[in-house]
Structure 1
Amino acid sequence: MKIYIMRHGEAEQFADSDAERELTLRGREESRIMAEKCRENGIEMFDKVLVSPYIRAQQTWQELNQSLSAKEVQLSADITPYGDAEAVFDYLSALIELEKPQQLLLVSHLPLVGYLTAELVPSMAPLMFATSAIAAIEFDEKNKKGDLLWQWQP
């Protein structure tokens, strides 16, 4: 199965709270570019999408969703910027075992996306993610570890 991890698009610097920061026009455009790159490479539908409740992550999914689709979209308070990568890994392992998705997308934030990639691919150090960057991991659910296939950025 494949797990795609995406950092949200470029966001405004200031808002009433970090959770309320919205995407900039550039952030929206970069997210659309990444959606088109996915489509061009045969990635069009996700079985499940987990999205941070922060506005910029939700807006990133909205931009992707103009070109890509999902059977199910779920907000996940565990994948905010300071979520616990080990706890998210445990949650993903259980979700994969129960629901058996073939294509799973997470739309989240730094630093979590980097640490989560390292949890899923134990042979790697945490990855850096530009805004709107996506990493693809081929995940072996039996051994609970994966291999990094690629990382794209706009």
Structure 2
Amino acid sequence: MKILIMRHGEAEHYADTDAERALTEKGKRDSVNTAKSCVNNGYDHLDMVLVSPYLRAQQTWQAIASHFDTKQVKVCDDITPYGDARRVSDYITAVAEVEKPKSILMVSHLPLVGYLTSEFVPNINPPMFPTSGMACIEYDVINSRGELVLNIHPEINAF
């Protein structure tokens, strides 16, 4: 199974609450560059997309959604910045065992995206994600073990 973990695009610095911070134009462009790179690397079909309820994550998904063939999209309250990585990885593993998706994308935040990556890929430290960055993991559900196969950085992989 493919697990894609994406940090939202660059957001405004200030809003009434952290959850209301909107994407900047650069954040939208960078997120689209990441989506294009993802598609060019063969990650164009998504069985499930989980998106944080925070505005910047929602806007990131809206900016990139047209680049993917997607079956279902869910807002997931557990993938906000300080969500519990173990709980989320347990949920993804359970979904994988029951629904058998071939690919899942999560659009979330620091620090959770780094901790999630290390939950799925044993023996790595939680990586720092740039805004609009993505980790692509090949995950073996039976052995509960993943391998980081691709890191996408929007400025390095820009079109």
TM-score grouping bracket, smaller chain normalisation: over 0.9
C-alpha offsets along residues 42-84 of structure 1, whole Å, 9 cap, x if unaligned? 2222000000000100100111112223100000000000000
Please show how residues 75-114 of structure 1 align to structure 2 within 5 Å.
75-114=75-114
Q: CA RMSD in A?
A: 0.8
> What is the percent sequence identity of the aligned residues?
55
Instruction: Tell me the matched-pair count.
Output: 154
Matches for 1:105-124 after TM superposition, within 5 Å: 105-124=105-124
What is the distance in 1 between the residues matched to 2:45 and 2:89?
Answer: 22
Task: Note the 1:42-81 alignment, pairs <5 A.
Answer: 42-81=42-81
Q: Name the structure 1 match of 2:8.
A: 8
Distance in 2 (CA, whole Å) between partners of 1:92 and 1:39 is 22
Separation in structure 1 between the aligned mates of residue 94 and residue 66 of structure 2, nearest angstrom: 29
Give me the whole-angstrom Cα distance separating, in 2, the residues matched to 1:106 and 1:133.
Answer: 12
Unaligned runs of 5+ in 2: 155-159
Which residue identity is paired with 1:42? G
| Structure 1 counterpart of 2:130, one-letter code | A
CA distance in 2, matches of 1:103, 1:13: 32
Residue in 2 aligned with 1:145? 145
In 1, Cα distance between equivalents of 2:28 and 2:69: 17
User: Following the alignment from structure 2 to structure 1, what is the Cα–Cα distance between the partners of residues 86 and 41?
Assistant: 30
C-alpha separation between the residues in 2 aligned to 1:44 and 1:93? 21
* Deviates further, 37-46 or 74-83: 37-46
For residue 150 of structure 1, report the CA deviation from its aligned partner: 1.4
Counterpart CA distance in 1 for 2:128 and 2:24 is 21
Q: 8 Å contact 2:38–2:152 — kept in the other structure?
A: no
Match of 1:128 in 2: 128
Give the structure 1 partner of residue 157 of structure 2: none
Unaligned runs of 5+ in 1: none
Instruction: State the 4+ residue runs in structure 1 displaced beyond 6 angstroms.
Output: none
**Structure 1: distance between partners of 2:51 and 2:144:** 22
Q: TM-score, normalised by structure 2?
A: 0.94
